[in-house]
Chains A and B, each alone.
Chain A
Amino acid sequence: MASILEVNSVSKKFGGVVALEEVTLSVPERGIVGLIGPNGSGKTTLFNVVTGFHVPDKGEVWFRNQGGMERIDGLNPNEVFARGIVRTFQVPRLFKNLTVLENLLVTPRNQLGERPLAALRRGWEREERELARRAIELLKRFDLLPYANTRVSELSAAHIKLVETVRGLMTPARLYLLDEPAAGVEAGVAHRLFSLVRELREREGLTFFIVEHRIEILTRYVDYLYVLHNGKLLAEGKPEEVISDPRVVEAYIGGG
């Protein structure tokens, strides 16, 4: 299958510390790919490079657009988002004093009502209603509807995590980078989340690239798994092969 995201020998240093070294990987279209690795192995840095937070010192990042592959490293985060890549954060970065519904509604891009002149005229209300219905639909599916009018700052940690992932689903993106979506979420909800990921892939043809610590859950849903260790790619392959790889086991035990 053709790949949607390609990372070609990317390196990134902070001060003297090597965060990524010659990392090469690719995510196939309509795939669900996992990325695991011990703490500090560079997973989040990789996400940051892909989403335009950091410019890589070396290497390239390519993303499939309508016209073919486009180089996206060095673009600004909002430009990366515009091309169809959505990310969630390891430590949730929700808008704390906005309600759950507002958090969802903020997400869609290029809303008519975001333009100052249009906002004054109110021609945006129809679009707003459509978005609201979509958001309500999503909230229903995750039993979050009762919290729709609650400020995020009043939610429990698990709910916050969930809302952040759901927020990512509000936009018509093609590639989702999920940074530890299941951390702190109870197992049942986590499974529901990953089932939805599967379902979205089947129904909408979306692609997922997921960093996750809870390997036991992750491996049941992903097609392919990469392992990072000390900024280098340690192993890759089918999930069941990878987790039985002795190097991986050692990295996880050795790395604490």
Chain B
Amino acid sequence: MLPGYPYSIVNFLHYFFFYLLFSLPLTLSYRNTKVINFAHSNFITYGMYTAVFLHGLLGNTSLPAAAAAAFLVGGSMALLNNIAVFRPLERRGASPSLVMIASMGLWIMYNYLLYMLADVAHFFSRKNFVSYSKIAYSDVPELSIAGFTLSQSFVASMLAALGLVVALYLFLEKTRLGRAMRAVSDNPVLAEVSGIPRDTIVNLTWLIAGGVAAVGGAVWTCFSGTITPQSGDAMILQVFTVSFIGGLVSLLRTGLGALAISFIENVGIAALNTYLGVPTSFRPFLTFATLLTILIASPPLGAAGGLPYRFRRRG
């Protein structure tokens, strides 16, 4: 029997759904825009705080409503980033690292903007928004299957993740716009031929990427015991690790990455703790070690790639 069964299994699936919600949009945004977006964590956190503010200030207890609002917030943030920052930089021919540094600047900015918003909200409502409890939504059911009770957040994250996967599949495979989007990632030059301007596709990509990540954040509010303005940042390296397993381009491999990392983080660490006495505090260490191993063993496919340099000697 697996250690921590059945909670580690439940958590494993739970995290799997969340990583799908957080990492698939990241992969999508990189493969279509080639921007390594540090500010991705902001989409997630702002999604959470959209739900938190709706709950704390307006008393909203409907998760679909919170998720819809989060989509708008995250999507428009991402769109704004692109129009105001990334596109002008690319027009000017800035290098990918420079664009990445700009996204780092955005990340810092949004992060502390949120703290400021939380301060202001605290001033008006006298509620603590810097550390907010789990939200109980009224319109998400708990499910009972074969004696197991699946919590509200499990049901919500499962539905959201499944919905995302199905919608992405249908969109990318079955619609003209979706096919154009795939073409952009495969061959930007060729994509121009399809008749849909690259700009439109990139904008749409950002809207979807930011929006979906924010929806993930909104769903997170009924799972995590505490929501802080750091919640998104604290998991961003994990989210990136998942996407790196997918080489930042393959959505299917990103899904596998989500499976692998959530397995390591839940079942893996519990097993190591129980059988080998490895402290639980090594959980993030494991994730980072996995990230490094992946980066070194199999460099991301979608990146400009390493040098055409071979370290081995010719025999």
Q: Could you list which residues of chain A lie within 8 angstroms of chain B, going by C-beta atoms? A: 52-55, 74-78, 96, 153
Q: How far, in Å, is A54 (CB) from chain B's closest CB? A: 7
Residue of B nearest to A55 (CB): B310
- 8 closest A-B pairs by beta carbon, nearest first, are A53-B308, A74-B314, A76-B309, A77-B308, A76-B310, A75-B314, A52-B308, A153-B93
Q: Give me 15 A-to-B residue pairs in the complex whose CB atoms sit less than 8 angstroms apart, sorted by A's number.
A: A52-B308, A53-B308, A54-B308, A55-B310, A74-B310, A74-B314, A75-B314, A76-B308, A76-B309, A76-B310, A77-B308, A77-B309, A78-B309, A96-B93, A153-B93
Q: Could you list which residues of chain B lie within 8 angstroms of chain A, going by C-beta atoms? A: 93, 308-310, 314
Residue of B nearest to A97 (CB): B95
A254 to B314, CA, bound (A): 41
Q: How far, in Å, is A67 (CB) from chain B's closest CB? A: 17
Chain B residues whose CB sits within 8 angstroms of the CB of A54 once the complex forms: 308
Chain A residues whose CB sits within 8 angstroms of the CB of B308 once the complex forms: 52-54, 76-77
Residue of B nearest to A73 (CB): B314
With contacts A55-B310, A74-B310, A74-B314 known, what are 9 further pairs, Cβ within 8 A? A52-B308, A54-B308, A75-B314, A76-B308, A76-B309, A77-B308, A77-B309, A78-B309, A153-B93
A75 to B309, CA, bound (A): 9
A55 to B309, CA, bound (A): 11
A161 to B165, CA, bound (A): 47
Residue of A nearest to B311 (CB): A76
Residue of A nearest to B309 (CB): A76
A195 to B283, CA, bound (A): 67
Q: How far, in Å, is B224 (CB) from chain A's closest CB? A: 43
Chain B residues whose CB sits within 8 angstroms of the CB of A96 once the complex forms: 93
A54 to B307, CA, bound (A): 11
Residue of B nearest to A76 (CB): B309
A76 to B310, CA, bound (A): 7
Residue of A nearest to B92 (CB): A153
